Chains A and B, each alone.
Chain A
Amino acid sequence: MYADEPMRPRTMQGRAPDVFTRGGWIPMQLRSDGEEVDFVVIGTGAGGGPLTARLAEKGFSVVAFDAGPYFRPLEEFASDEASQSKLFWTDERIVDGANPLKMGANNSGKAVGGSTVHFAMVSLRFRPEWFRSRTLLGYGADWPLDWREMWTYYAQAEQDLSISGPLSYPWGPKRPRYPYRAHEVNAAGLLLAKGAEAMGYRWSPTPLATVSAPRGNSPPCVYRGFCRVGCSTNAKQSQLVTYIPRAVRAGAEIRDLAMVGRIEVDATGRATGVHYHRDGVWRFQRARNVVVAGYAIETPRLLLNSATDRFPDGLANSSGLVGRYLMTQSNQAVWGEMEEEVRWNKGPPSLALTEHWNYDDRKDFFGGYCWMGQGPLPIEWSSVLTGARGLWGEALRRQMENYNHQIGLKMVGEMLPHLDNRVTLSEEHDQYGLPIPRITYSWTDNDKALIDHGLAQMRTSLELVGARNIFLQKDDTNHLAGTARMGFSRETSVVDADCRSWDIPNLFVCDGSVFPTTGGVNPHLTITAIALRTADRIEALAKRGEL
Chain B
Amino acid sequence: MISERYLNIAIWVGVLGFALYANFSGETYWVTLATRATIFAIAGIGLNFALGYGGLISFGHAAFFGIGGYAVGILASHAQSFTPIYDGFVTIDGTQSMVIAWGAAVVAGALTALLIGALSLRTSGAYFIMITLAFGQMFYYFAISWPAYGGEDGISIYVRNSFPGLNTLVPFQFFCLVFTVLTIVILLVRTMNKSPFGLALNAVRQMPQRVETVGIAPFKLRLIAFVISGMITALAGAMFADLNRYVSPAMFSWHVSGEIMVFVILGGVARLMGPVIGAATFVAFEEVLGRQSEHWLIYLGLALLIIVLFAKGGIVGSLARRGTARHG
User: Do A and B bind?
Assistant: no
